[in-house]
Structure 1
């Protein structure tokens, strides 16, 4: 295939993936009119309509969907192989895209990669905080970071953190005013700070285990957040009781800003793992990032 034909395919795939000539043109660094002309030229040469255009959207035809599914993965493989040529240089380079929850981003990804990026100025990291079970392959992330129980199949997994444990906490002033719960059921009369995460389809239930006893509670309160960091801030401000990973509140507990309850009801669970698709080779940049994230 000539270079011009290959460029036409790249243009079509960019438009199909973005669903927009405007976004695809910006991504490719060309004008919208030039990109539209390139795609029309490809359609004319093939004698097939690949895209259906309206004033507001762009959608693939059946033929366009077939071409996209056939060609896009192959072109991505080629781009990956070309990017991997950087491993033959002395320093890793390129962008590594990571998808993870805010807790893991704050406590593990940022602290471990900060110095790595300082050492390798040509290495870039794009970090997306996401509490959903994102398909990292479909969304073109290089690495995902999840709890062990949430790992996708057919992935290479590397431990990032030790086993985790939940801590039920509030300020000493809150407990002085409202009393200290002795059993999980006592939380029903307390102002509990909720978390609404897409992985649970609603409010995160508070789970407790103690020997042969276990329970899962739907708590309520005045505040609900979609991330653990704002829930921690609310707890520190005295807004109620929070249900948070232990390592998020260690400093506050040691400083006396928070007080822990129901500790004997909180068992450990599997920690975080960095995972990525199984491939014969990985880029030098990805190797450096994975090794930095690995829990030693």
Structure 2
């Protein structure tokens, strides 16, 4: 029999179990005449009678009973498997690999994706801390996070955070007996905590902006890191000035554990964006991750 007859087999099983064309038709969402016509067609194709019909009841013939015993369990198994597939759709599974800065992971990705992980226990997320401009396709990542002005044009970018304000801070212990810098160039007279970027292997040049004027300063100090959270710890430990996201430093400024400097020069950068390859169909798990991270202003 052709695949197109599976609906007729399900209709046959329903009639046989209900022992009524009327009740079976209601259950299947068909008219009684349409169901009767379908069963007549099935009997004609098989060349046997399947039902004995009276004015008050419907019962299976010997051939009908044999078909019922053979087909009903298999149709039930098919429906069970289809239900399982629907459950997989409703409860997506799989691994989503994301490369991002430690700051983006700690302040945005982890807080927003933790509820998703709790809601969907079959979803797994792999975070990779990386300051390089990673080629996500070449390294088999599903998505990456960068500032909005550094996303490749052939990628789809979704904003996941507001614009990013950078700050310059140092501990009260380091500043004891020292004047605060009045201009960005005054930082060259201070110890500073450097960040090494893996993309070019060089030290990050601190960028400043005031009234449309931009200034870049190369700073020096005793310590170099490739991790923002470690730079923060070094600043707290009195190793000099650090250049870092304001949202990371602000609570410590309010607690008096860090002192801000050069506030008029703090630059504003485009906020973090999640980027991923342009695909016709996204995996359900990745789609949920994108939706959970999408920035919704207000």
TM-score normalised per structure 1: 0.69
Question: For structure 2, which runs of at least 5 residues remain unmatched after alignment?
Answer: 1-84
CA distance in 2, matches of 1:187, 1:86: 60
Q: Deviation at 1:88?
A: 5.8
Cα distance per residue 1:106-153 (max 9 Å; x no partner): 111111111110111001001111111111011111111111121012
* 1:97/1:142 contact within 8 Å kept: yes
Equivalent position of 1:124 in the other structure: 124
Residue 197 of structure 1: SS of its match in structure 2? coil
User: What CA RMSD, in Å, does the superposition of the two structures yield over aligned residues?
Assistant: 1.5
- Are 2:127 and 1:107 aligned? no
Deviation at 1:199, TM superposition (A): 3.2
Residue of structure 2 in register with 1:221 after alignment: 221
1:117 touches 1:124 (CA, 8 Å); kept in 2?
Answer: yes
Would you say the 8 A contact 1:178–1:190 is kept in 2? no
Within a 5 Å distance, the mapping from 1:143-182 to structure 2 comes to: 143-182=143-182
Rate the CA distance shift 1:163–1:200 in 2: closer, same or farther, 3 A: farther
Give the structure 2 partner of residue 41 of structure 1: none
Query: How far 1:213 sits from its partner (Å)?
Result: 2.6
The answer to whether the 8 Å contact 1:191/1:240 transfers is yes
Question: CA–CA distance in 2 between the matches of 1:271 and 1:200?
Answer: 22
Matches of 2:111 and 2:127, distance apart in 1: 13
CA apart distance, 1:294:
1.1
CA contact (8 A) 1:86 1:92 kept: no
Q: Secondary structure of 2:177's match?
A: helix
Match of 1:25 in 2: none
User: Does the 8 A contact of 2:98 with 2:144 survive in 1?
Assistant: yes
Q: Does 1:286 find its partner at 2:286? A: yes
Equivalence for 2:239? 239
Q: Secondary structure of 1:114's match?
A: helix
Deviation at 1:86, TM superposition (A): 7.9
In structure 2, relative to structure 1, the CA distance for the partners of 1:177 and 1:99 (3 Å cut) is same
Q: Tell which structure's C-alpha radius of gyration is larger.
A: 2
Q: Residue 286 of structure 1 aligns to a residue in which SS?
A: helix
The 3-state SS of whatever aligns with 1:224 is strand
1:196-207 aligned at under 5 Å gives the runs 196-207=196-207
| Cα distance in 2 for residues equivalent to 1:228 and 1:218 | 18
Match of 2:133 in 1: 133
Distance 2:266 2:87 in 1: 45
Please give the TM-score of this superposition, normalised by the length of structure 2: 0.68
CA distance in 2, matches of 1:251, 1:92: 37
Partner of residue 249, structure 1: 249
Kept in 1, the 8 Å contact 2:207–2:267? The answer is no
Unaligned runs of 5+ in 1: 1-84
Change (3 A) 1:173 1:145: same
Distance 1:156 1:248 in 2: 27
Kept in 1: contact 2:206–2:217 (CA 8 A):
yes
